[in-house]
Amino acid sequence: GENVEQHPSTLSVQEGDSAVIKCTYSDSASNYFPWYKQELGKRPQLIIDIRSNVGEKKDQRIAVTLNKTAKHFSLHITETQPEDSAVYFCAASIDPADSGYALNFGKGTSLLVTP
């Protein structure tokens, strides 16, 4: 089955700096890669996703890059703000259009943005 590794497990940055979280996956059949943000005690929320037909996707201060050859993908947050502090999870799966959202998650990165 799919195995998703996520690094680092914790990340502390100063407000305004960039944060990068990296994930690797093992199953070359995976072609859907979402990122979820989970604030303490709350539900995971999708912040961005990428499919394997593109190498990069951007949404305001958030970007995700994908390298299918190397089987890794990364989340980039620029100009970080204290409200970005949360746990971020990457996930990988085959296309949900084929098999639904049976996602394989990484263990999460706890991001702390200090003022």
Partner 1 sequence: NAGVMQNPRHLVRRRGQEARLRCSPMKGHSHVYWYRQLPEEGLKFMVYLQKENIIDESGMPKERFSAEFPKEGPSILRIQQVVRGDSAAYFCASSPPIGALGTEAFFGQGTRLTVV
CB under 8 Å to 108, separation ≥6 — which residues? 6, 9, 38, 87, 88, 89
Is-contact 86 111, C-beta < 8 A? yes
Closest CB to partner 1 among 46 and 54?
A: 46
Q: Least separation, in Å, of the C-beta of 23 and partner 1?
A: 11
The answer to the question of residue 57 lying near partner 1 (CB under 8 A) is no
| Interface segment toward partner 1; rule CB under 8 A; list 11-19, 60-68, 71-79, 105-113 | 105-113
Best CA proximity match to 28, nearest among 74, 70, 73: 70
Interface contacts to partner 1, rule CB under 8 A: 1, 4, 6, 34, 36, 42-46, 49, 89, 96-108
